[in-house]
């Protein structure tokens, strides 16, 4: 738990999934990335699914919600999904008043719902009363996905949103005093990254713009990104702002370094400086 101006911030890991290491590191050769993250026998590496929790007095914000616990056996096996039960650490989804979804890929938004016990495939909402914030352009994208991204969306996520208290955002918006979302289009069209300001600095949640701390290196992107050239420009802008403002940056999928500050290294590149415990 960390105080930031009027807010109290913390992180929760909603569990793990395992994706192909080559897809996670794009053009980075395996001889490099396997030294940072050892792959399993299927060439997969573990991804955490950190949520940022922001306590703001009467309101409690949660940024992204993990994979959820509704996975059919086949997909559970492919991605080795290990979702963490809310009861395990006493996490109460009912305490969350506002859920900000960076984008609707299954590892970020699947946790909006659970399987309804005793039914074939019906769902129940994990946050039935909360406001759910999604960029309008991204919702449109998820309703009509391009072939590159289609596998990343679950149809039931849209069903869950239809039953939710949905708030559509557009571009950069302050959704609460001190909490701002920003649009990015490089990883997927209409991703929103989140900036929480307080005490003269900020904590930022770039989501899949920078999934692991290793991706702070500007050229390292993922095979999943839809527009790498755009992502590089957006990421460079983000990193420059984070460095200038001495922000703490959350790496949503990093199992080892969940949050860190940045520095410029002796070659002039932006790099991870010190780990931060949230």
Q: Which residues bind Zn ion (CB under 5 A)?
A: 107, 208
Question: In 3-state terms, what secondary structure has residue 8?
Answer: strand
Shortest gap between Cβ of 107 and Zn ion (angstroms)?
4
Residues with Cβ within 8 Å of 182's Cβ and at least 6 positions away in sequence, in order, are: 171, 172, 192, 193, 194, 195
Shortest gap between Cβ of 220 and Zn ion (angstroms)?
15
Q: Residue 127 or 224: which CB sits closer to Zn ion? A: 224
- CA atoms within 13 Å, Cβ hemisphere of 153: 23
Tokens 């999928």, located at residue: 253
Shortest gap between Cβ of 14 and Zn ion (angstroms)?
12
Shortest gap between Cβ of 106 and Zn ion (angstroms)?
8
Residue 253 near residue 79, CB atoms below 8 Å: no
Q: By C-alpha distance, which of 254, 278, 205 is closest to 49?
A: 254
Handedness of CA 170, 195, 207, 127 (dihedral sign): negative
Residue-by-residue DSSP string for 102-113: S--SHHHHGGGE
b/e code 50-66 from CB counts within 10 Å (16+ = b): bbbbbbbeeebbbbbbb
Q: By C-alpha distance, which of 18, 93, 25, 104 is closest to 60?
A: 93
Q: Residue 222 or 239: which CB sits closer to Zn ion? A: 222
Q: Residue 98 or 208: which CB sits closer to Zn ion? A: 208
Shortest gap between Cβ of 157 and Zn ion (angstroms)?
13
Crossing angle for the helix pair 155-162 and 136-143, nearest 10 degrees?
Answer: 130
Instruction: Take residue 162 and report the two structure tokens written for it.
Output: 């239809």
Q: Residue 26 or 178: which CB sits closer to Zn ion? A: 26
Q: Residue 20 or 124: which CB sits closer to Zn ion? A: 20
Q: Residue 152 or 164: which CB sits closer to Zn ion? A: 152
Shortest gap between Cβ of 212 and Zn ion (angstroms)?
10
The dihedrals phi and psi of 241, each to the nearest 5 degrees, come to -65, -40
Q: Residue 224 or 247: which CB sits closer to Zn ion? A: 224
Shortest gap between Cβ of 55 and Zn ion (angstroms)?
25
Q: Residue 247 or 251: which CB sits closer to Zn ion? A: 251
Residue 43 near residue 73, CB atoms below 8 Å: no
Shortest gap between Cβ of 160 and Zn ion (angstroms)?
18
């Amino acid at each position: 738990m960390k105080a930031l101006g009027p807010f109290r911030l913390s992180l929760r890991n909603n569990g793990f999934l395992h994706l192909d290491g080559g897809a996670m590191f794009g053009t980075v050769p395996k001889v490099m990335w396997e030294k940072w993250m050892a792959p399993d026998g299927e060439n997969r590496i573990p991804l955490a699914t950190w949520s940022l929790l922001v306590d703001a007095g009467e309101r409690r914000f949660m940024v992204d919600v993990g994979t959820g616990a509704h996975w059919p056996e086949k997909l559970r096996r492919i991605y080795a999904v290990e979702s963490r039960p809310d009861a395990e650490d006493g996490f109460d989804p009912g305490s969350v008043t506002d859920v900000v979804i960076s984008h609707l890929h299954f590892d970020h938004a699947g946790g909006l719902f659970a399987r309804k016990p005793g039914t074939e495939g019906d769902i129940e909402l994990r946050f039935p009363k909360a406001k759910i914030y999604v960029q309008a352009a991204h919702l449109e994208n998820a309703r009509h996905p391009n072939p590159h991204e289609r596998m990343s969306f679950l149809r039931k996520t849209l069903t869950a949103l239809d039953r939710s208290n949905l708030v559509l955002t557009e571009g950069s918006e302050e959704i609460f005093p001190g909490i701002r979302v920003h649009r990015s289009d490089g990883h997927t069209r209409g991703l929103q990254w989140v900036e929480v300001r307080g005490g003269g600095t900020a904590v930022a949640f770039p989501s899949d713009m920078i999934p692991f701390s290793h991706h702070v290196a500007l050229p390292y992107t993922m095979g999943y990104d839809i527009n790498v050239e755009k992502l590089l420009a957006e990421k460079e802008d983000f990193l420059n702002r984070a460095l200038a403002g001495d922000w703490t940056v959350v790496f949503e999928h990093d199992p080892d370094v969940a949050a860190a500050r940045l520095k410029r290294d002796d070659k002039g590149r932006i790099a991870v400086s010190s780990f931060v415990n949230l």
